[in-house]
Chains A and B, each alone.
Chain A
Amino acid sequence: MVSTADKKEYKVIGTRPIRHDGYDKVTGRAQYGADIKLPGLVFGAVLRSPHAHAIIKNIDTSEAEKLSGVLAVMTAKDLPRLENIQRASAEESGSEKHLSENVLAHKKVMYKGHAVAAVAAGDINTAEEALNKIKVDYEVLEPVINVDQAMDKDAPIILEGFEADHLGKKVLNTNVALHEIHDFGDVEKGFSESDFVLENEVNMQTVHQGYIEPHNATAIWDEEDRVKIWTSTQGSFTVRDSVSKVLGLDVSRVRVTPMEIGGGFGGKIPIYLEPLAAVLSRKSRRPVKLIMTRTDVFESTGPAPGGKVKVKLGVDSSGKILAASAVIKLEAGGFPEAFIEAASQCVFSCYDIPSTRIEGYDVIVNKPSSAAYRAPGSPQVAFAIETLVDEICDKKGWDPLEFRVKNVARKGTRTALGPLYTRIGLEECLEAAKKSDHWNSKLNDNLPSGKKRGRGIASGYWFNIGFKSHVNLALNSDGTVALTEGSTDIGGTRAAISMQAAEVLGIPAEDVRPSVVDTDSIGYTDVTGGSRTCYATGYAAYLASQKLIEEIEEKAALKWDIDVTEVVYENGIIKSKSNSELKMTLKEFADDSPGGPVTANASVDLEEAGGGFGVHIADIEIDENTGKTDVVRYTAIQDCGKAIHPSYVEGQLQGGATQGIGWALNEEYYMSQDGRMENSSYLDYRMPISLDLPMIDTILVEVPSEEHPFGVRGVGETPIVPPIPTISNAIHNALGIRMSSTPMKPSSIIESLKNK
């Protein structure tokens, strides 16, 4: 039933309608989480640890409670204690105990910024003043701030009593939460048979997703112990699950209403403020709103893991890779996990390698508990492998594109973790790169004096998770279709989902009216993340639309008093197969349909889709005297399966590439020795500004996935994977120095030039 015919002609898919929520967003009418107004609303503030690692000996909230205007104060005492039960949901994991303790520290603080208490008051100023009156007695401990420190034999143990898993054995008193190895073939033999073996190691600093909208949550806890929450989140149902766990309530007692969301990139999947708002509401009997400050966002929410990745490749004299090994050490932050499994899945994903060995370490450090950041784990390993490939090609005089084509992963290639690839489009992306205007253009045209240019290329991969989505359709009497779904819209997905329904129904995109609804109003829907939304919720919309057509045909048959097998619906017209007089438009039918509302719905729980590969090309210009690096030309090529709304697919490529460029050049958590982030503001956490970038060209390759009726692949995450090695390779091309740490900031470049 899944059709994957190539080169189909579509009516709606592939067009660029104005997105349905667009008018509200360009006029300022759209309601984001911080915009909500409720009668009697009061404001909360959160007290956070000034220490990176400390035992909480006592918290005295008495003075704060007495302050005029304060309505409620809470600490971890107000939350039930949870057990070490593992949670497993899409893109979220760890234990219930850790979930709760990250929301509000119980006995220990694990990072500077870890929440320890919260206050609600009539105005935000009073709430913040009340924080100053809470006395916390800390016993400060030595902090551990990177993988080397954490894995040192004398390191202080951060998670006391935690049972780690080292190669299947339970281990106590360690900062390595997980140690695993994936082995296939015989790497030792492969290396010994290689004509050329090379290895490298990359070192990466922690970075943040940097979404412009800070976290927010508003809650009402009512007299029946039911909690209503309004929040900007990537997953309303995930919030419901997590909040109900942390509060000790049945899921049905928590209703989550998603507000519009101002960016997430994975960082708005975990919960932070929701349980605090809920308990403060219970204690004050008022609706409570909490909004993070920008400092809180940097210091207290989940960044992307820093760490170290070592990769080794063995190749034969013709350039075929015979063996590959990797050692991946990523910082999980104060609680597990650090996306080791995903990193292991991605490290050799672009290549067909007969023998591989991937060793992964999930390392606890005194930093905020890491969260997903667009393809979590993949950028870190891509940096290692793609610069190593570049180095091998450089040393052997091989063309970097040809080398990749020679070893390319394709349908049927076994991945390092076991499964075989279904249909994928890496080869097509490499071909597109070869033919691209950028790759064939002269590098040094109009080169300003005093500058050097370089060109780099790299590939990258991210899988698409599937999981659960639900879509509801209802035919309006004017012939339009109301579509309700539960996937919060960060980048235009409600338009893409509506377009898939419109395509099946044969009606214009504007005639499908989408709403993203709360957890009481739609079936379980997993997060907007993992590059799943257009794929999975779109698939549910596709199925629901087919069912709606069946409903329409049945009701038309009733209306005409003929057999349903006689009726056919196509492109907004309903007709009888044998009687040409019987014909009506969808509008006419909708206005006078018999037998009750015409509705349909569909649920999916999908397997992983065929994954998205990307290839990026960058030209950079460096001032050798200052190390200042400017990106002067950039092309992002990616297999998107089928671009439903090409503008928003292009937007994902451009946005992800820009984040990767920032990660490569200037972004980092600058940590003091005592474990504090010193640059927790947009001034010193340097994200690219408009003047830092050129136009970012995109090439959309369409190799339809086998798993979706229109061949859709998720596109949102892959674009952040190639940029870091692309930039590093370009710098090498320009200056002959190999930058193997991020950020590749000007001072590091000058230092490398001095040591050359």
Chain B
Amino acid sequence: MHPYNYYAPENIDEAVGLLEEFGGKARCLAGGTDILVQTRGGKFELDAIIDVKKIPELTKVNWTENHLVFGSAVPCYVLYEDKKISSKFPGIIDAASLIGGIQIQSRASLGGNLCNASPSADGICPLIVHNTICVIAGPKGYREVSVDEFCVSPGRNLLDEGEFLVSLKVPLPTTGFGAAYERFTPRNEMDIAVAAVGSSVVIDSGKITDSKIALAAVGPTPIYADKASEFLEGKDASDENLNQASQIAEDSCSPITDMRGDVEFRKHLIGVLTRRTLDLAIKRSGGN
């Protein structure tokens, strides 16, 4: 492994400066649960690792008038042990509480999970169906992008040189909003998704006024299933409609066969999990 230096900047400008200085030979360290494995495996050669956990914006949880804002280095356990976050965003907690095991959740962050941009990432589908905004800092200042654009290809995100993810902004749930995430793994924990679905709905007077469905492990990145999502808008949450949406989601994805699953099985699971997450999202919408 190529030896690298360690830096722990205490503010955003310092971090941007370091990233610019080292170019592609520096990466950010949040929980370390992906990046430390990758540096050892020779996935990339670093001259510097930049520990971002001393930057206040990256480790804080804030509530504004319309959003929950949490730093990109906030570990999963902070999210699920927070009563307010757990009650308002169970669909996000679904993912935060099953990435790895307790040891991993002490360190891994949803921001890091997003930046790692794995097609089978657990944290990304829930963020997509919650309409999350990514707050990015870089040499040119700040910018915001919608989370469904963040991942570009397997393992690659849209950050330019010198940029890093500061925080995630999640709109507060409106009345009638409900969301859920479920993945399929052969073991009960410590596993990686064979297929996964995040769903959210807004129910008004028995009708689905908004619905979002996102799929993981069945494409080069987690994907927003637009056809399935749009199908449900304006419709009743009937058995037939939900099944049809699930079938559309199943048909819309193009998984590959690899050591974690084959094409047929993954598509089949997408159908099953879409239905299940829609059911749970609808049930939870009653709470809002």
Residues on A close to B: CB < 8 A? 125, 128-129, 625-628, 630, 665-666, 670, 678-679, 683-684, 686, 688-689, 691-692, 745-747, 750-751
- Contact: B259 with A747, CB < 8 Å? no
Kindly provide the distance from the CB of A166 to the nearest chain B CB, expressed in whole angstroms.
36
Name 10 interchain pairs, CB-CB below 8 A, sorted by A. Answer: A625-B272, A626-B184, A628-B186, A665-B186, A683-B190, A686-B186, A689-B190, A746-B194, A750-B265, A751-B264
Q: How far is the CA of A596 from the CA of B190 in the complex (A)?
A: 60
| Secondary structure type dominating chain A contacts | loop
Please encode chain B, from 182 to 201, with 1 for each CB lying within 8 Å of some chain A CB and 0 for all others: 00101111111010000000
User: Cβ of B268: which chain A residues have Cβ within 8 Å of it?
Assistant: 750
- Contact: A670 with B265, CB < 8 Å? no
Answer whether A125 and B188 are a contact pair too, CB < 8 Å, given A625-B272, A684-B260, A750-B265.
no
Q: Please tell me which one of the listed residues B186, B189, B265 contacts residue A666 in the complex, with CB atoms under 8 A apart.
A: B186
User: Cβ of B141: which chain A residues have Cβ within 8 Å of it?
Assistant: none
Q: Please tell me which one of the listed residues B188, B191, B261 contacts residue A747 in the complex, with CB atoms under 8 A apart.
A: B261
User: Cβ of B1: which chain A residues have Cβ within 8 Å of it?
Assistant: 125, 128-129
Q: How far is the CA of A63 from the CA of B281 in the complex (A)?
A: 61
User: Cβ of B260: which chain A residues have Cβ within 8 Å of it?
Assistant: 684
User: Cβ of B269: which chain A residues have Cβ within 8 Å of it?
Assistant: 626
User: Cβ of A745: which chain B residues have Cβ within 8 Å of it?
Assistant: 186
Q: How far is the CA of A751 from the CA of B269 in the complex (A)?
A: 12
Name the CB-closest residue of A to B272: A625
Chain B positions 148-201 with a Cβ under 8 Å from a chain A Cβ: 184, 186-192, 194
Q: Please tell me which one of the listed residues A665, A670, A686 contacts residue B191 in the complex, with CB atoms under 8 A apart.
A: A686
- Contact: B259 with A688, CB < 8 Å? no
- Contact: B265 with A692, CB < 8 Å? no
Q: How far is the CA of A128 from the CA of B188 in the complex (A)?
A: 35
- Contact: A686 with B261, CB < 8 Å? no
Residues on B close to A: CB < 8 A? 1, 3, 101, 184, 186-192, 194, 258-262, 264-265, 268-269, 272
- Contact: A751 with B265, CB < 8 Å? yes
Answer whether A666 and B259 are a contact pair too, CB < 8 Å, given A128-B1, A625-B272.
no
Answer whether A747 and B187 are a contact pair too, CB < 8 Å, given A125-B1, A128-B1, A625-B272.
no
- Contact: A684 with B259, CB < 8 Å? yes
- Contact: B189 with A689, CB < 8 Å? yes
Kindly provide the distance from the CB of A625 to the nearest chain B CB, expressed in whole angstroms.
5
User: Cβ of A129: which chain B residues have Cβ within 8 Å of it?
Assistant: 1
Kindly provide the distance from the CB of A422 to the nearest chain B CB, expressed in whole angstroms.
42
Q: Please tell me which one of the listed residues B188, B192, B259 contacts residue A670 in the complex, with CB atoms under 8 A apart.
A: B259
Name the CB-closest residue of A to B276: A625
Q: Please tell me which one of the listed residues A683, A684, A686, A746 contacts residue B265 in the complex, with CB atoms under 8 A apart.
A: A746
- Could you list 20 further interchain pairs (A-B, Cβ under 8 angstroms) beyond the known A747-B194, A747-B261? A125-B3, A625-B272, A626-B184, A626-B269, A627-B265, A628-B186, A678-B258, A683-B190, A683-B191, A684-B192, A684-B260, A686-B191, A688-B187, A689-B188, A689-B190, A691-B189, A692-B188, A746-B186, A746-B265, A750-B265
| Secondary structure type dominating chain B contacts | loop
- Contact: B187 with A689, CB < 8 Å? yes
User: Cβ of B194: which chain A residues have Cβ within 8 Å of it?
Assistant: 746-747
User: Cβ of B258: which chain A residues have Cβ within 8 Å of it?
Assistant: 678
User: Cβ of B191: which chain A residues have Cβ within 8 Å of it?
Assistant: 683, 686
Name the CB-closest residue of A to B41: A295
User: Cβ of A627: which chain B residues have Cβ within 8 Å of it?
Assistant: 265
Q: How far is the CA of A665 from the CA of B186 in the complex (A)?
A: 9
User: Cβ of A684: which chain B residues have Cβ within 8 Å of it?
Assistant: 192, 259-260
Kindly provide the distance from the CB of B163 to the nearest chain A CB, expressed in whole angstroms.
29
Q: How far is the CA of A689 from the CA of B190 in the complex (A)?
A: 8
Name the CB-closest residue of A to B186: A666
Kindly provide the distance from the CB of B148 to the nearest chain A CB, expressed in whole angstroms.
26
Kindly provide the distance from the CB of B268 to the nearest chain A CB, expressed in whole angstroms.
6
Q: How far is the CA of A689 from the CA of B189 in the complex (A)?
A: 8
Q: Please tell me which one of the listed residues A628, A666, A683 contacts residue B192 in the complex, with CB atoms under 8 A apart.
A: A683
Kindly provide the distance from the CB of A451 to the nearest chain B CB, expressed in whole angstroms.
14
User: Cβ of B192: which chain A residues have Cβ within 8 Å of it?
Assistant: 683-684
Q: How far is the CA of A691 from the CA of B189 in the complex (A)?
A: 7
Q: How far is the CA of A745 from the CA of B261 in the complex (A)?
A: 10
Q: Which 10 A-B pairs have the closest CB atoms?
A: A747-B265, A691-B188, A670-B259, A678-B259, A625-B272, A679-B259, A666-B186, A692-B188, A691-B189, A689-B190
Kindly provide the distance from the CB of A376 to the nearest chain B CB, expressed in whole angstroms.
25
User: Cβ of A750: which chain B residues have Cβ within 8 Å of it?
Assistant: 265, 268
Q: How far is the CA of A462 from the CA of B272 in the complex (A)?
A: 43
Kindly provide the distance from the CB of A674 to the nearest chain B CB, expressed in whole angstroms.
14
- Contact: A747 with B3, CB < 8 Å? no
Q: How far is the CA of A666 from the CA of B190 in the complex (A)?
A: 14
User: Cβ of A628: which chain B residues have Cβ within 8 Å of it?
Assistant: 184, 186
Kindly provide the distance from the CB of A289 to the nearest chain B CB, expressed in whole angstroms.
18
Q: How far is the CA of A747 from the CA of B185 in the complex (A)?
A: 11
Q: How far is the CA of A273 from the CA of B272 in the complex (A)?
A: 48
Q: How far is the CA of A751 from the CA of B264 in the complex (A)?
A: 9
Q: How far is the CA of A625 from the CA of B184 in the complex (A)?
A: 11
Kindly provide the distance from the CB of A244 to the nearest chain B CB, expressed in whole angstroms.
35
Q: How far is the CA of A683 from the CA of B37 in the complex (A)?
A: 12
User: Cβ of A679: which chain B residues have Cβ within 8 Å of it?
Assistant: 259
User: Cβ of A747: which chain B residues have Cβ within 8 Å of it?
Assistant: 194, 261-262, 264-265
Kindly provide the distance from the CB of A497 to the nearest chain B CB, expressed in whole angstroms.
36
Q: How far is the CA of A688 from the CA of B258 in the complex (A)?
A: 21
User: Cβ of A665: which chain B residues have Cβ within 8 Å of it?
Assistant: 186
User: Cβ of A691: which chain B residues have Cβ within 8 Å of it?
Assistant: 187-189
Most chain B C-beta atoms within 10 Å of own C-beta, residue among A625, A626, A628, A665: A626
Name the CB-closest residue of A to B265: A747
Kindly provide the distance from the CB of A43 to the nearest chain B CB, expressed in whole angstroms.
13
Name the CB-closest residue of B to A687: B187
Q: How far is the CA of A520 from the CA of B265 in the complex (A)?
A: 58
Q: How far is the CA of A563 from the CA of B264 in the complex (A)?
A: 86
Q: How far is the CA of A430 from the CA of B198 in the complex (A)?
A: 49
User: Cβ of A678: which chain B residues have Cβ within 8 Å of it?
Assistant: 258-259
Q: How far is the CA of A746 from the CA of B187 in the complex (A)?
A: 10
Q: How far is the CA of A747 from the CA of B269 in the complex (A)?
A: 10
Q: How far is the CA of A734 from the CA of B94 in the complex (A)?
A: 30
Kindly provide the distance from the CB of A27 to the nearest chain B CB, expressed in whole angstroms.
21
Q: How far is the CA of A747 from the CA of B184 in the complex (A)?
A: 11
User: Cβ of A746: which chain B residues have Cβ within 8 Å of it?
Assistant: 184, 186, 194, 265
User: Cβ of B272: which chain A residues have Cβ within 8 Å of it?
Assistant: 625-626
Kindly provide the distance from the CB of A209 to the nearest chain B CB, expressed in whole angstroms.
18
Name the CB-closest residue of B to A670: B259
Name the CB-closest residue of A to B42: A132
Kindly provide the distance from the CB of B102 to the nearest chain A CB, expressed in whole angstroms.
11
Q: How far is the CA of A626 from the CA of B262 in the complex (A)?
A: 13
Kindly provide the distance from the CB of A501 to the nearest chain B CB, expressed in whole angstroms.
42
Most chain A C-beta atoms within 10 Å of own C-beta, residue among B1, B260, B261, B272: B260
Q: How far is the CA of A155 from the CA of B102 in the complex (A)?
A: 48
